[in-house]
Amino acid sequence: MGTLKDILSPFSVWKQVLKEPVTIKDPLNRAGSDRYRGFHQNEIDRCIGCGTCEAICENEAIDMVGVASIASKDGDSGLRPMVDYGRCCWCALCVDVCTTGSLKLSNVYTWVDTDPDNFRFIPGIDKKPWDNAEKGYVKPDNYELYPLERVSMDHLHPEERDHSFIEIMKGYSDEEALIEADRCVSCGICTATCPAHMGIPEYIKAIRNKDVEEGLRIMYETNPLPEICGRICTHKCETVCSLGHRGDPISIRWLKRYIADQVPESAYADVLRQDSVEQNDKKIAIIGAGPAGLSAAYYLRQLGYQVKIYEKLQAAGGMMRYGIPEYRLPYDQIDKDVNYILSQGVDIQYNVEVGKDISFSDLHKQYNAVYVATGLHQGRSTRIPGTDHKSVYQAIELLRKITNNEEIEVAEKIVVIGGGNVAMDITRSLARMQKEKYGKVQIIATSLEAEGKMPADLEEIVEAREENATINPGWGPREILIENDKIKGLKVVKCLDVFDAEGRFNPSFDESEEAFFEADMVVESIGQGADLGFIAPEFMEQLEKDHRGRIMVDPLTYQSTLPWLFVGGDIIEGPDVIHGVANGHKAAKGIDLFLNK
Amino acid sequence: MLENIISELEKQFQLEAVDHNSSDLVFLTIDRDHAVMAIDLLKWKFGYKHFVLLTAVDFLEEGKFQLTYILNNPDTKTDIGVRVRIDREDANMVSAHHLWPTVATYQRELKEMFGIDFPGSPRLNDPFILEGWEGTPPYRRDFDTKAFAASFYHQREGRTTNDPATYMKEKLYPNE
Amino acid sequence: MSKKEFFPMDGDRTKYPEIKSDGTADIDLSSHKYIKLWHGPNHPGITGNMAVELTLCGDEVVEGITHVGYLHRGFEKLMERRKYIQNFPLVCRIAVPEPDYNEYNYATCIENLTGIDVPEKGMWLRTLTLEMARLQGFLMWIGGMAGAIGFGTVGQWANYCRDLVLDRFEELTGGRIYHIYILPGGVRNDIPEGFKDRMEKNLREIEGFMKDIRRAFFDNYVFKKRSVGVGYIDPAWVFDYGIVGPNARAAGFKHDIRKNYPYAKYAELDFEITTAKDSDIYTRAFLRFEELLKDIDLIRQILDKMPEKGDHISKVSNMMNLKIPAGETYVRSECTRGEYGYYLVADGSEYPRRVNVRGPSYTHGVALLEKMLVNVNIADVAQLMVSLHTYPPEIER
Amino acid sequence: MSLEDLNKKQIVSPDGEHFEVDPMNDYFCQDRPEEVKPVNKIVERFYNWARSESLWILGFGTGCGAIEMRPLMTPRFDAYRFGVQWRPTPRQANLLIVSGYLSTKTLKRVIRVYEQMQNPKFVMGLGSCTINGGMYFDSYNTIKRLDYYLPVDVYVAGCMPRPEALLAGFEELKKLIKAGKAEGANEYANKFDWYKKNQKEVIRDWDMPDYNW
Amino acid sequence: MGEKILFALISLFLTINYGFLMNGVIRKIYARVGRRHGIPFYQMYIDLIKTLALRTNIRHGTMFYLGPVFRFAGGVGLFLFTPVVFGSAMFGNLSFSGDVLLLLSFQFFGTLGMALGAGESGHPNAAIGVTRGLAQMTAVEVPFVLALMGVAIQYDSLSLHDIVAAQQGGIMHWTLFTNPFIVAAGMLALLGSFMRPPFDVVLAGQEIPIGPPTEYHSNYMALMLSNRAIFPMAKAILFMNLFFGGANTYWEMMIKTFAVVMWSVFVGVSFPRFRVEQSIRWFLRVPLILGILGIVYVQFFMS
């Protein structure tokens, strides 16, 4: 083994001696690679403080802290991540999970300090030398820690649905609901935006745990109308959903519906059973069995009050039943929610109109408190020439008649004025009837707001178009042309902007651009107003009102200036189911507070 | 191939559960007293001579430890995991160090980290990883490492965090 | 003549207390015949932070006891209270020189139990990182081996070469040492533009240095004097002591998980198992050197065969809420030191019930090392440990 | 060394004399460390310059950060050109790099090693683990903040810090030494009781003398 | 005489500085082979000041304290009795006839002192290092003494001055060319005493960090660092005088000693280290045979 080669060949090391050293000349200023996971950067304006980074951090390195310069608002918690470099391990899972994509890691990696307490900072707020570093780790394309696409719900196709009032959305199957619920990152940003502040992450978690009954219990804490809200809620929560920043928001509404659908009506009593509440003999009258009234009734019963609802129409549900077409919200689902509430011992009297059948002052005398939640049932008119024609209808009236199965006029060509959800409802309802009657759809819906700015839900517009209705937004109605006592059509001019520079409603038009929509019938759907005529004038005088004549109430208790009178629902909040539910709940608490003072 | 071995084993032992993980990995459960005999048989008769690992799993809720011996047959390229359920209280198991000398190391670790006794195993009570440990062996599930770390070591103070939902409630609708 | 008889100091054990069946011997320290010497933990010749308690008689080791636990962080406990995805930053810390094997094994455990698929390109990229990890692991090992017997020059070159690989790692994964690159469903990031050319350039440079190392280190009179016949592993011990990887292959045991249990894309790569006879320190060193050269070749093959396009990771469900149904699995792969295995038990919750890591050093570093230390000259202890390629965090985790 | 070795015992001298040995008192130095004040300001400045330009690091890889020492010693980063060298024994070293987490078992060794180093001595904490526990914040076996057990002069952020960051740490330490601010050894002497209390709280089998030089 | 002592001190001062710088350069060369820059060439001075600047030091006993002193005294002694520049009044040092034997004793003096000091430090690594060091030293001494004897026989003198004088008159008069066997034996022995691979097992950092000096620091360390500058220089000067014709100017001395030291570097960079018994065997084999050959050559072929 001791060959000469073994002795001589090691000396070959010397050939390296004259070569240039391979040392990095200036290591102190050497940049990390383009993808290097260095120190944190946060685009503070894009960040919404959802705390997902905190949730995924396995080292508890991230704290969500309030920042003076950032206020909490819908969709932004006002918190910002503070990173503790005494914990961080630079795995960048926080970057990958960031819902907005605001969090990044720069390729700067040098931080030397003598004080260990310094290694804590809020990226983007506390100025650091690497704030402007351009390179570094960002979440790679094509890779997500959670799916960004929502699970589409099985629904009737346009050709199946355009002639019937069968419910379009079929609801999630178990697997679909699980997959959709799994997408949720449980940040809880939605809870604040939901008027009822429902425990959304919690009930979604219940779905993940395959415990729909727990989910139902969570929902009933804040919302006694889950079947209804699960279908037609305006889901403001979804607009702020943190996942919506880079992908589709969670289908919170459909998941709510899934939970409610999964529990049969017969099981409600068992699932929601609570320890018997102490009953008291204080009596409360509720006027109107809409969402606000029903919600108030439910929670007042939970507090042990004796509740009676006075409803003008034949069935409970208010606008949910009489304003929303059946294909969106089947009546049996309304009944499911309503029946459960009534089963709690709520007394209800139908076909009673306060002010006519029973006087308002009687209510005041008989009951300890009165809750007025009559809603907005009076359609507003555009008051353009021709609106007094008999073939010009209010959408809200037509919808009520459709619900009541009354005969209504369905012309061959219809124009609907309005771009809100009610307009879409009537458009689509009439389209179905046209399809049934004439075999084809000739309905035009037009609105002031331009495409993309219409107040109606996008899916409503899309679906209406799928059902062959024409949506032609961006026009201001000028005149309904009438020839021979027959409507010829609607003359419109281009609407440039609905609001003026200060954001007030003050549409501006381009009179030069005109259009004409042929029609035999015109439906107006530009909003509804309240009819508070039933409140006796002596009380009405005592109520404080704002400059537009709306009753002023305490925003927390919905107590009016008459201490025993509480007012809520659409009258206060404008048309919205979930707001109604929410302030029904608040009013119940307010009444409780008032009566227990 | 694995089926034959299992049916052979079934003739001699009571196999409580057989889970096929894949075509070349199977887990079977044998009672405490016969497990080492079965391992012996697997080693000498069926060629499972490469001892891969021995570890324990704490099923606190059921009051059991599961010991897993994974054996490998390098010729057929198959693995058998022998699982043994033993009581958590007074946990002890027949030692297998006579089959492979390295098993003693695993048993030393299990004794220290789980408190499972293997009577007769060499140097079983020598400290292996920990130094001066008192109380519940750390790998047992009823030992809460986070609570222990929080109380036993000095943590750097001054950290507070907020849950976004609660924080927004405080800021936006504190009274509702 | 077998190598066994070739011990330079064929120690006569009869002089010393007999080693009992449990590997210990009764040594009377007060006889002043022996001295205790701690090799570690603060010792430049120890591999990582561990210690060997040596009892010496003159220059010869009578008994060696491995002490570990200096690096114990309780990974297996910590993992039980973290969600599956949160454990990825943790697992790679178990083995600092080659974190990728931890990531791969753990990700594969999850994939096995949940059925997540890995796209073609993701698999290739995984194979690439695993091979690069092997390459840099071997390079560092050569540096350590040369250092352990006082040959600093080769150590310098080898560590430089390793830095080249680390640069490529940094470019590919964004991390220098801890890559956290392999995630369930594939890998985190696509291969950057021009990576292949830069890698090729580095590989050429490494090959150049390897030629020099071959000449200077493996054809070295002194190194051969020091290592041939020292630290002999008897083939009969392979199964008794759970010897795996190069240590076993050098003893003639033809066993390479990449070939025998093909995982990732190894089935599509062209390579042979490296084996040798007579596992002494020199043979093991040379075998590792040969494997290193093969790794260079494999990296080239992988870069050639890797598809240009394709997803690097599949669409996965929300990793923050991942629950794995009750079940257990064992996954193994071949790291530089041998069989690296993960045993994962899931119980249907979001947290693993138990993760057990089977590092090759577990058997090499304790039972085998203690056996092999006996009768070794104290000067050879360091190189013996390096030649077994022990790495303490794998033992204590 | 086991605990029994520290008990008092009878020893027979080569002359046949019997005497009792108390290892804790006889084998080890139990004296408290004392603060050593610089004698002369100008000389001290010159000395500080020399101390800063000749950092001798103890080659004790306490945690995973130690893996980045090799690149520092080797051609790529070559810390030697900055006057940084590695020494194998604590006696000759004056910079202790705590490379990351410390298990209590290692902490015990690190304390001894630190005490064996001579004044002035410096400690550099690497990575998150030395600052606030890092990713092992919930581990039952690692300390969370190093400054409770040893006076730390400089921290380098990172997990683990890259060699370049370490070099920046050396530069920072050099500045501190030159400014006369790196007085960890004196601080340790002054707050000795506090440090000992903290150390004894977490090291459960305290079988070593309070101070071993 | 006073003048001579003054000159010797000047020469000591110059040479010790040269030694420091040369050590720095050699470490640079080491680094360059490893493809790095390495320490600044003046780093040794800073290290020296740094070690002196330590505020505390530990004493393990008188012998521990005296160890480095002995070592340094050995180095200085070796130097002082070696003529640095042949025929120079300034750099002639205290060389007198018969000094080769004195030098031999000085060479051992330092090592022995070190052994005692390190032994008293009580560190097992130091003790192991000392046993290794003394064993290897003894083995090295055999070929070295043979070479020395060969030279003495060849020039028929034990005075370095005479030995150098005999080599004057051209390069072919150097012992290197007149008796290559002796030179080969001597130069191989030199490898053993310079503590460079493959014979640095005494200090072996990876095995017994770092042997005898394990416990030494501060002033002791400074003394040892100085010794490391002067001792190899003295040794190289000795070898230069014995084998390479001495030096006629200081510059010549610098170049020749550098070449002698480079020889050990040349080997040291290329090899790992031997175990102690291997190096003993090696010294008792190759250099010993060469040394005997040299003496045989001197005895039978030169006279």
- D173 within a domain of the structure (yes/no): yes
D108: contact with B, CB 8 A cutoff: yes
Q: Which residues of A touch B156 (CB under 8 A)?
A: 86, 116-117
User: Inter-chain contact C220–A10, Cβ cutoff 8 Å?
Assistant: yes
Chains contacting C (3 or more CB pairs within 8 Å)? A, B, D, E
From the CA of C55, how many Å to the nearest CA of chain E? 12
Q: How far is CA B11 from CA A138, B21, B43, B80, in A?
A: 59, 22, 17, 17
DSSP state of A494: E
Rounded Cα distance, E176 and E156, in Å:
17
ipTM confidence: 0.88
- CB-based contact C89 D75, cutoff 8 Å: no
E218 touching D (Cβ < 8 Å)? yes
Q: What is the CATH number of the domain that holds D139?
A: 3.40.50.12280
Residues of B in contact with A581 (CB under 8 A): none
Residues of chain E scoring pLDDT < 70: 1, 95-98, 302-303
**Contact (CB<8Å) E266/A22:** no
For residue B142, tell me if it sits in a domain.
Answer: no
The residues, any chain, with a CB within 8 Å of residue E203's CB and separated by 6 or more, are E129, E195, E210, E211, E212, E213
Gap from D137 CA to chain A (nearest CA, Å) = 7
What confidence score (pLDDT) does residue A567 get? 86
Residue C10 has pLDDT above 50, yes or no: no
Higher pLDDT, B20 or C247: C247
Any chain D CB within 8 A of the CB of B130? yes
Q: What is the pLDDT of residue A594?
A: 86
Q: How far apart are CA E166 and CA E174, in angstroms?
A: 8
Q: Which residues pair with B73 in a beta bridge?
A: B78
E269–chain A Cβ distance below 8 A for any pair: yes
Which residues of chain E have a CB within 8 Å of the CB of A11? Answer: 266, 270
pLDDT of residue C106: 92
The 10 Å Cβ neighbour count of residue E297 is 17
Chain E interface includes C7 (CB < 8 A): no
Asked whether the beta carbons of D55 and D95 are under 8 A apart, the reply is yes
All residues of chain C having their beta carbon less than 8 Å from the beta carbon of residue E197 are 150-151, 222
Q: Evaluate whether residue B22 is within a structural domain.
A: yes
Q: Is residue B171 part of a domain?
A: no
Mutate to test the interface with A, among C321, C350, C355 (most CBs of A within 10 A): C321
Look up residue D6 and give its two tokens: 């520290």
- What pLDDT does A143 receive? 86
State the amino acid at position E250 in one-letter form.
Y
Digitized pLDDT (tens) for each residue of chain D, 213 residues in all: 456 667 777 777 777 778 777 776 666 666 788 888 888 889 989 999 999 999 999 888 888 888 888 888 888 888 898 989 888 888 888 899 998 888 888 898 899 889 888 888 999 998 888 888 888 888 888 898 888 899 999 999 888 888 999 999 999 999 999 998 888 889 998 998 999 889 888 888 887 777 776
CA distance E20 to chain C (A): 22
Q: Which chains are adjacent to chain B, needing at least 3 Cβ pairs under 8 Å?
A: A, C, D
* C156 at E interface, C-beta within 8 A: yes
Closest by CA to C138, choosing from C249, C292, C284, is C292
From the list E172, E176, E152, the residue with the least C-alpha distance to E162 is E152
Nearest to B159 among A84, A197, A586 (CB): A84
C258 has a pLDDT exceeding 60: yes
C68 interfacial to chain E (CB closer than 8 Å) = no
Cβ C129 vs Cβ C172: under 8 Å: yes
Average pLDDT over residues B37-55: 88
Q: Closest partner residue to B149 among D131, D137, D201, by Cβ?
A: D137
- CATH number at B40 reads 3.30.460.80
pTM beyond cutoff 0.95: no
Instruction: Work out the percent of chain E whose per-residue pLDDT is above 90.
Output: 2
Which domains, and CATH codes, for chain C?
75-396 (1.10.645.10)
Can you give the pLDDT at residue C9? Answer: 42
Q: Where do the domains of chain A lie, and which CATH numbers do they carry?
A: 22-145 (3.30.70.3270), 165-271 (1.10.1060.10), 283-377+539-595 (3.50.50.60), 378-527 (3.50.50.60)
CA-based nearest residue to D187, from D34, D41, D48, D45: D34
Neighboring chain B residues of D141 at a CB cutoff of 8 Å: 130, 138
D78 within a domain of the structure (yes/no): yes
Q: How do the domains of chain E map onto residue ranges? A: 2-302
Distance CA B92, CA A310 (A): 73
Q: Where are the beta strands (DSSP E) in B46-172?
A: 50-59, 64-73, 78-87
pLDDT in tens, chain A (597 residues): 457 888 888 888 888 888 888 888 888 888 888 889 889 999 888 888 888 888 899 888 898 988 888 888 888 888 899 999 888 889 888 998 998 889 999 988 889 999 888 888 998 888 888 888 888 888 888 888 888 888 888 888 888 887 778 888 888 888 888 888 888 888 888 888 888 888 888 988 888 888 888 888 888 888 888 888 888 888 888 888 888 888 888 888 888 888 888 888 888 888 887 777 788 888 888 888 888 888 888 888 888 888 888 888 888 888 888 888 888 888 888 888 888 888 888 888 888 888 888 888 888 888 888 888 888 878 888 888 888 888 888 888 888 888 888 888 888 888 888 888 888 888 888 888 888 888 888 888 888 888 888 888 888 888 888 888 888 888 888 888 888 888 888 888 888 888 877 878 788 888 888 888 888 888 888 888 887 778 878 888 888 877 777 788 888 888 888 888 888 888 887 778 888 888 888 888 888 888 886
* A1, A7, A13: best to mutate for the C interface, most C CBs within 10 A: A13
The pLDDT, as a whole number, for residue E1 is 66
Min Cα distance E286 → chain A (Å) is 13
CB proximity C220 to A under 8 Å: yes
CA-to-CA separations, A437 to A415, B52, C380, E41, in angstroms, rounded: 17, 77, 100, 102
| Residue C6 predicted with pLDDT over 90 | no
Instruction: Measure CB to CB from residue B57 to each of C353, C362, C363 and give the nearest one.
Output: C353
Average pLDDT for residues C101-110, to the nearest whole number?
91
Region B94-112 average pLDDT: 88
User: Does chain B reach chain C with at least 3 CB pairs under 8 Å?
Assistant: yes
In this complex, which chains have at least 3 CB pairs below 8 Å with chain A?
Answer: B, C, D, E
CA-closest candidate to residue C342, choices C263, C240, C268, C241: C263
CB contact under 8 A, D131 and A119: yes
Query: Nearest by CB to C157, which of E30, E34, E208?
Result: E34
Structural domain of B80? 2-130
Structure-token pair, residue D31:
């004296």
Determine the pLDDT at residue A591: 87
Number of domains in chain D: 1
Residue A296 touches chain B, beta carbons under 8 Å? no
- Structural domain total, chain B: 1
Which of E34, E36, E53 is nearest residue D50 as measured by Cβ atoms?
Answer: E53
Which residues touch A594 (CB under 8 Å, ≥6 apart)? Answer: A369, A557, A559, A563, A564, A566
**How far apart are alpha carbons A556 and A550 in whole angstroms?**
17
pLDDT at A145: 87
Say how far apart CA C362 and CA A556 lie, in whole Å. Answer: 66
Q: Do chains C and D touch (3 or more CB pairs under 8 A)?
A: yes
Q: Are E and C touching by the rule of 3+ CB pairs within 8 Å?
A: yes
Instruction: Count Cβ–Cβ pairs < 8 Å, chain B vs chain D.
Output: 52
CB contact under 8 A, E32 and A22: no
Residue B5 DSSP class? H
Residue D3: what pLDDT? Answer: 61
Chain E residues touching D59 at Cβ < 8 A: 209
Sign, CA torsion A443/A449/A455/A459: positive
Edge-to-edge order in the sheet of strand A103-106: A40-42, A103-106, A136-137
How many Cβ pairs closer than 8 A exist between chain A and B? 70
Given an 8 Å threshold on Cβ–Cβ distance, is C45 in contact with E209? yes
Res. C127 pLDDT band, cuts 50 70 90 = very high
Q: Which of A53, A191, A586 to mutate to test the interface with B (most CBs of B within 10 A)?
A: A191
Measure CB to CB from residue D155 to each of A30, A59, A119 and give the nearest one. Answer: A119
pLDDT of C24: 65
Q: When comparing pLDDT for A513 and C19, which is higher? A: A513
For chain B, the average pLDDT equals 87
**Is D115 inside any structural domain?**
yes
- The chain C residue lying nearest B48, using CA atoms, is C239
Q: How far apart are CA D182 and CA D160, in angstroms?
A: 23
Residues 6+ apart with CB under 8 A from C55: C27, C29, C34, C35, C36, C37, C61, C62, C63, C64
Chain E residues touching residue C282 (CB < 8 angstroms): none
Mean pLDDT for B39-47 is 87
* DSSP track, A340-371: HHHHTT-EEE-S--BTTTB-HHHHHHH-SEEE
Selected residue with higher pLDDT from C217 and C60? C217
What is the rounded distance in angstroms from the CA atom of residue C309 to the CA atom of residue A575? 52
Model pLDDT, residue D173:
92
Going by their DSSP bridges, the two strands A414-417 and A521-524 should be labelled as parallel
Token pair listed for C44: 């430049």
